[in-house]
Amino acid sequence: MMAPSPLYDETLAAMASAMLRLGVALQSSHERRTEMSAKLLNNIRLQGANELLVQLDQIARAFEVEASLKHLNFLIDRCIADFETAIEVTLSGYWAVAFDAMRDILEIQFFLMDFALCTAHVDEWLSADDRTLRRKFSPVEVRRRLKAADVGNLGEDAASIDYKGHSMGLHVRPNNMLVPTKGLSSPHPLHRDMGSWEIFEHSRTLFIAIAMFTHSVAPNSEADRLAGQDPPLVVSAWMEANKSQTLFRAIIRSEEKRRKRDLGAAAMELVRPLYDMGIITSDTIGRDAKNEEINAALLELGKGKSQAVKRALIALAFILQDQPVPPQLAGVLLSEADEAVDPTAEMTLQP
- ∠286-308-43 over CA atoms, to 5°? 130
| Residue 218 confidence (pLDDT) | 96
313-317, 320-324, 339-343, range with greatest mean pLDDT: 313-317
Rg of the chain over all Cα atoms, to the nearest angstrom: 23
The enclosing H or E element of 105 equals helix 95-117
| Residue 173 confidence (pLDDT) | 61
Distances in whole angstroms, Cα of residue 33 to Cα of each of 4, 26, 163, 323: 23, 11, 28, 38
**351 pLDDT exceeds 90?**
no
**188 pLDDT exceeds 60?**
yes
Q: Tell me the per-residue pLDDT of 238-289, one tens digit each, with 9 for 90 and over.
A: 988 888 888 877 887 887 888 788 888 888 888 888 888 888 887 776 666 6
**Higher pLDDT, residue 189 or 227:** 227
Mean local confidence (pLDDT), 307-328: 73
- Do residues 86 and 198 make contact, with C-beta atoms less than 8 angstroms apart? yes
| Residue 264 confidence (pLDDT) | 85
Distances in whole angstroms, Cα of residue 228 to Cα of each of 95, 209, 266: 29, 10, 40
Tell me the one-letter amino acid at 77: D
Q: Tell me the per-residue pLDDT of 16-40, one tens digit each, with 9 for 90 and over.
A: 889 999 988 999 999 999 988 998 8
Backbone angles phi, psi at 43, to 5 degrees: -95, 150
- Do residues 234 and 44 make contact, with C-beta atoms less than 8 angstroms apart? no
Strand partners, 43: 348
Q: Tell me the per-residue pLDDT of 106-123, one tens digit each, with 9 for 90 and over.
A: 999 999 999 999 999 999
Q: Where are the domains of the chain?
A: 22-230, 245-347
Whether the CA torsion 24, 27, 33, 34 is positive or negative: it is: negative
| Residue 189 confidence (pLDDT) | 62
Nearest-angstrom CA–CA distance, 178 and 119: 36
Q: Tell me the per-residue pLDDT of 53-69, one tens digit each, with 9 for 90 and over.
A: 999 999 999 999 999 99
Q: How much of the chain exceeds pLDDT 90, in percent?
A: 40
- ∠317-269-199 over CA atoms, to 5°? 110
Name the DSSP letter for residue 149: T
Backbone angles phi, psi at 337, to 5 degrees: -60, -35
pTM: predicted TM-score of the whole model, two decimal places = 0.77
Nearest-angstrom CA–CA distance, 273 and 180: 24
Q: 231 preceded by cis ω (within 30°)?
A: no
Mean local confidence (pLDDT), 73-82: 98
Q: Contacts for 50-57 with beta carbons within 8 Å, 24 or more apart?
A: 50/233, 51/231, 51/232, 51/233, 51/234, 52/83, 52/199, 52/200, 52/203, 52/231, 52/234, 53/80, 53/83, 53/84, 54/231, 55/207, 55/226, 55/229, 55/231, 55/234, 56/80, 56/83
pLDDT level of residue 327 (50, 70, 90 thresholds): low
- Do residues 79 and 105 make contact, with C-beta atoms less than 8 angstroms apart? yes
**347 pLDDT exceeds 50?**
no
| Residue 204 confidence (pLDDT) | 92
Q: What is the mean pLDDT of the chain?
A: 81
Nearest-angstrom CA–CA distance, 172 and 178: 13
Q: Three-state DSSP class for 118?
A: coil
Distances in whole angstroms, Cα of residue 11 to Cα of each of 3, 6, 20: 15, 7, 12
Nearest-angstrom CA–CA distance, 100 and 102: 5
Smallest CA-to-CA distance from 237 within 116, 90, 18 is with: 90
- Do residues 160 and 154 make contact, with C-beta atoms less than 8 angstroms apart? yes
Mean local confidence (pLDDT), 205-211: 96
Q: Tell me the per-residue pLDDT of 130-180, one tens digit each, with 9 for 90 and over.
A: 999 999 999 889 999 999 998 877 655 544 555 555 555 555 666 554 455
Smallest CA-to-CA distance from 196 within 236, 141, 158 is with: 236
